[in-house]
Amino acid sequence: MKRILSVTAAALVFAGASMAVAELAEDYVFVEPTAQDHPLDEIISGYQFRIESTRETQDDDFENPGMLLLDQAMDTWSEVDGAAGKSCADCHGDDPLDAMKGVGSTYPKFTEEGDHRAFRNIENQINHCRTERMQADAWKYDKNDMLGMTVLVRNADRGEPVDVAVDGDAAPYFEQGKELYYTRMGQLDMSCAHCHEENYGNYIRADHLSQGQVNGFPTYRFKWQGVGSLHRRFSGCIKNIRGIPFKKGEDEFLALELYTSWRGQGLPVETPAVRN
């Protein structure tokens, strides 16, 4: 069984929260890291830290609330929008899940169009397509149209391993994301690693801390009563430690998205996952 790591004193003293030792199920599933410098011995999806009823909700497409946004995006795919008179289907084909196969598991990454090259996550790529190819208005982060299309792109790779590139031109983003992951922030003076590397598996209040893997985003959270983006989750974590979040879609969170995706390299894409 998975025994729990040591409790971080700073989290207890400053947050005033109680922690308890917990164990994963004997048959918990994990992926072995392939990178020699990976900080974890086992890569474990947040799915393994959730109670049975939550996992059952995620596994049942009829019960999973996140699937409603997927259905919405399937309809939006063929809808014409913008001055160019185009839909997603005009460029990518009529079957969105087939067209997007092999895409969602590889973001964030550099994408190119003509002379324009930029490091983007799925949301930024969607808005690039909308503004440049469709001549339509950009969608806002964490609104249903953007969330739904991002769910669609990721869901097309559901079950496929996360496979992000962190070398070449992406290397500076990877290093920036790694630095952010271990940087203490906020009045509680905590980093991502305090919860998700040093204390995963512990309970803090009623929350069973996971490794903070991102293979299920966008995710339906019971706390949110809806689907939210990864950058919304980043923002929430920083606010929880009484810090000031970075802006969604900007370089800092893009870098952190790349690094956290690498930490879960090889985990299957679960989008839309269901979490507390």
Q: Which residues form the catalytic set? A: 237
Cβ atoms of residues 176 and 196 within 8 Å: no
Q: For residue 20, report the phi and psi dihedrals to the nearest 5 degrees.
A: -135, 145
Exposure string (b/e) for 89-100, b if CB count within 10 Å is 16 or more?
Answer: eeeeeeebeebb
Q: Please count the helices (runs of H) and the strands (runs of E) in the chain.
A: 11, 8
Cβ atoms of residues 54 and 210 within 8 Å: no
Q: What does the alpha-carbon distance between residue 222 and residue 217 come to, in Å, rounded to a whole number?
A: 14
Cβ atoms of residues 189 and 10 within 8 Å: yes
Give, for 219, the enclosing helix (H) or strand (E): strand 219-221
Strands 19-20 and 203-204, bridge-based pairing: antiparallel
Cβ atoms of residues 267 and 161 within 8 Å: yes
Please tell me the number of Cα atoms within 13 Å of 218 on its side-chain side.
31
- What would the DSSP string read from start to end of 7-76? PPHHHHHHH---EE-----TT---B---STT-S-SSB--GGGGS-HHHHHHHH-TTT-TTHHHHHHHHHH
